[in-house]
Amino acid sequence: MIIEVDRLDVRYGATRALRDVSFELAEGEVVALIGANGAGKSSLLRALAGLETPRGGTIRLFGQDIGHAPAHEVARKGLRLVAEGRQLFTDLTVGENLWMGGYASPFDREEQQAQLERVFGLFPILREFTGRAAGMLSGGQQQMVAIGRALMGGPRALLLDEPSLGLAPKYVAQILEVICELAATGITVLLAEQNAAAALRAADRGIVLSNGTITHTSSAQELLDDEDVSRHYLGVGTAEDADSVVAPRQLPCALDRLEV
């Protein structure tokens, strides 16, 4: 397993954000993390990335305990987080933002250049905007930069926090397509999304968080067929309605079915 989480507990003072959270992520697997606002999705991603110190439980990356490792060490070990809101250096150019992503990587300059070409292969428009200030791009283009910056470190596991937030449908579809392409190369993706329908459409499995605990963990298809999940998280009333809105991921990704 790439990531193993066992009975994870995260608190902010007296507030318990995560309680006894356990799951595993395999190589090349896409897992959708869904739940209402305040369910603990961002807290979980931040704990995995080394930005929050767990109160209890363990986090293992490639079998190594990283529960108390600082964020830069976690990044160097191959796990990268694309935070909610993109967190770009808006006054720097697109190219400068991307190169910053390789700062904590083990790659030399030549290897980083190869990573940059890989990013341009996934997001061709970024090559055209290399010299443009990141703050001048649209929201969808900025999300491309944020994901590209994370990929500059050559991660084997990628955490995405609300990548579709505020984006036009065409950009959501592009992001989902890239997630599928990354999974096909063996990169593990944990995708936290309010847009549960879109997330499950690109995922192999889903994990549902509620009040800091896991209430459901199953295949994407099973979650789509679950009327309770459909009612509370997909914005539709029945399992039959859910099937008409989304289609589960097939391996390899059925990219032509990723319309949003």
For 180, residues 6+ apart whose C-beta sits below 8 A from its C-beta are 30, 202, 249, 252, 253, 255, 258
For 202, residues 6+ apart whose C-beta sits below 8 A from its C-beta are 30, 32, 176, 179, 180, 191, 249, 253, 258
Average pLDDT, integer, range 95-115: 87
**What are the structural domains, with CATH classification, of the chain?**
29-51+78-257 (3.40.50.300)
Residue 259: pLDDT above 90?
no
Average pLDDT, integer, range 112-135: 95
Please provide the average confidence, as pLDDT, over all residues in the chain: 89
Average pLDDT, integer, range 113-136: 96
pLDDT value of position 166:
86
Q: Give the containing element (helix H, strand E) for 34.
A: strand 30-34
Average pLDDT, integer, range 232-256: 48
Interval 25-36: pLDDT, tens: 999 999 999 999
68-72, 83-87, 88-92, 149-153: which range is least confident on average? 83-87
The amino acid occupying position 240 is E
CA–CA distance, 31 with 145 (Å, rounded to integer) = 22
pLDDT band at 194 (very low <50, low <70, confident <90, very high): confident
pLDDT value of position 260:
44
- C-alpha distances out from residue 120 to 42, 59, 116, 128, 249, Å: 28, 32, 6, 9, 25
pLDDT value of position 253:
53
21-25, 137-141, 238-242: which range is least confident on average? 238-242
What is the percent of the chain where pLDDT is above 70?
90
70-79, 88-97, 222-231: which range is least confident on average? 222-231
User: Token pair 């697997």 is at which residue?
Assistant: 29
14: exposed, middle or buried (Cβ count in 10 Å: 0-12, 13-18, 19+)? exposed
pLDDT band at 168 (very low <50, low <70, confident <90, very high): confident
The amino acid occupying position 32 is A
Residue 256: pLDDT above 50?
no
- Please give the full DSSP string across 145-181, using - where no structure is assigned: HHHHHHHTT--SEEEEESTTTT--HHHHHHHHHHHHH
183, 51, 56, 208 alpha-carbon torsion, rounded to 10°: -40
Answer whether 9's CB lies under 8 Å from 202's CB.
no
DSSP 209: E
Q: How far apart are the first and last CA of the chain?
A: 31
Q: Which two tokens stand for residue 253?
A: 């990704």
19 vs 235 pLDDT, higher one: 19
Which residues are registered as beta bridge partners of 207? 33, 217
